[in-house]
Structure 1
Amino acid sequence: MAHVPESVTMYVCEHCQVAHAGTPIHVDTAEHRFEAPDECGSCGETAFVALSDWVHHHD
């Protein structure tokens, strides 16, 4: 069986709109879930929206 790479969940900083790759968290030996970073590496803010929800996000 061929290996299928996981899709990384991306997050957008609500303040400066910089995109970040989610931090991988091991769920079991073969799978991960991805969480938003603790803070934005660009501006230091802590509010993020999943990239998949960004177009529907309103302040």
Structure 2
Amino acid sequence: MAHIPEEPKRFVCENCQIIHAGTPVHASGGDHSFETPTTCGGCGESTFVEFTDWVHHHA
């Protein structure tokens, strides 16, 4: 069976709206999750909204 890569969670910087890929975190059993970035690479802010929630987000 072929491996199908999982798409990483994406996060939108609340300040400048740049999209960042979450940092993969590996857990036991081969599972993983994605952490929110600590700071935005564009503006340096640290407030993010998950990409799937962005359209419903009100700043």
TM-score by length of 2: 0.92
Further displaced range: 47-56 or 20-29: 20-29
Kindly provide the amino acid, as one letter, of the partner of residue 18 in structure 1: I
Separation (CA, whole Å) in 2 of partners of 1:17 and 1:5: 26
Tell me the residue number matched to 1:41: 41
Point out 4+ residue stretches in structure 1 off by more than 6 angstroms: none
Aligned partners of 2:21 and 2:57: how far apart in 1? Answer: 18
More helix by share: 2
Q: SS of 2:24's equivalent?
A: strand
- Across the aligned residues of Structure 1 and Structure 2, the Cα RMSD in angstroms comes to 1.0
C-alpha separation between the residues in 1 aligned to 2:7 and 2:30?
Answer: 13
CA distance in structure 1 between the aligned counterparts of 2:28 and 2:52, rounded to whole angstroms:
24
1:1-12 mapped onto 2 (5 Å cutoff): 1-12=1-12
CA distance in 2, matches of 1:39, 1:31: 25
Identity of aligned residues (%): 56
Task: Show structure 2 runs of 5+ residues with no match.
Answer: none
Q: Which string of whole-angstrom CA distances, capped at 9 and with x for unpartnered residues, describes residues 1-22 of structure 1?
A: 2111012000000000000000
Map 1:1-59 to 2 at 5 A: 1-59=1-59
